[in-house]
Structure 1
Amino acid sequence: DEARTKRRGGSGLGLSIVKSLVNEYGGTISVDSEKGKWTKFYILFPKLTSE
């Protein structure tokens, strides 16, 4: 997808928006990466109940 390349750049807001949403729902974000190869973000939410 051309819109996701470094040539075009971006606003840099994606992770900030995700962080806000995750915090709002009491979740956590963690990251694992290998420099220059890959990055993985883990997003965990607490189990919600109907109580």
Structure 2
Amino acid sequence: MEIDLKQNREEFDSLLRSTEREGIEDVISDLENLGFYEAPASAGHHLNTAG
């Protein structure tokens, strides 16, 4: 199963921006800084791969 990290991130960011909430760009920036976009879904179980 190949995961397109760039496409997933663009879609996720687009969904966040669609809320039109104040400060959403700060939330997106914080997610980036925390490594959210590269983190696996689980540390040791299902989908334990980057993204």
Q: Please confirm whether the aligned pair reaches a TM-score higher than 0.5, indicating the same fold.
A: no
Asked which structure has the greater CA Rg, the reply is 1
TM-score, normalised to structure 2, is: 0.38
Calculate the TM-score normalised by the size of structure 1: 0.38
Would you tell me which structure has more helix in proportion to its own residues? 2
Higher strand share: 1
